[in-house]
Amino acid sequence: MNNQRGLYGKYIVRKREGKTDPNADYRVLRIDADPAAEAAWRYYGRCISYKNPELAQDIEDETATGAILKPGWKMPEPPSETCARCGNPINQPFAVHTGEGWYLCWECKDECGHGEYEMIDAWPFVENYATGRDLEAVGFRVV
């Protein structure tokens, strides 16, 4: 793609009702063709929720498929280890929210809770934020 020109006046903004403010600073994002633009749009929805919950909900509903998967992302190969307690392979991806963010790791097949977790480094999404539903959709058990 060679159409990366930086910031420039690609669009002319016009209001459906009323006049545009000639001193305003409008921006246009094409969210159907640019995953980063869609992520920015959803982030805006979260940021505006305190001020305009109805708009925030509309944005959430509009983008209900959740976080955007990184192009080409696949679940990494699990470690070739077995659980010291139950003897099952440690090959089940699971996600725990620590309060500061998601911790992605592998657990044994029986979820025995032994705690031999291997961390998964490959964050699946374009943006840093994801819901538990997003993580379940790509194969994680969410705790």
What residues make contact with Zn ion under the rule CB under 5 A? Answer: 83, 85-86, 108, 112, 114
Query: Rounded to 5 degrees, what are φ and ψ at 24?
Result: -75, 160
Q: How far is the CB of 115 from Zn ion (least distance, A)?
A: 9
Look up residue 77 and give its DSSP letter: P
Measured from the CB atom, the residue of 75 and 84 that comes closer to Zn ion is 84
Q: How far is the CB of 89 from Zn ion (least distance, A)?
A: 9
The CA distance from 20 to 34, in Å, is 26
Q: How far is the CB of 94 from Zn ion (least distance, A)?
A: 12
| Buried-state track 28-65, b at ≥16 Cβ within 10 A, e below 16 | eeebeeeeeebbebbeebeeeeeeeeeebeebeeebee
Measured from the CB atom, the residue of 70 and 114 that comes closer to Zn ion is 114
Measured from the CB atom, the residue of 73 and 117 that comes closer to Zn ion is 117
Label the pairing between strands 102-108 and 118-119: antiparallel
Measured from the CB atom, the residue of 86 and 137 that comes closer to Zn ion is 86
Measured from the CB atom, the residue of 112 and 138 that comes closer to Zn ion is 112
Q: How far is the CB of 102 from Zn ion (least distance, A)?
A: 22
DSSP H helix total and E strand total for the chain: 3, 4
Tokens in use for 13? 């903004």
Q: How far is the CB of 124 from Zn ion (least distance, A)?
A: 24
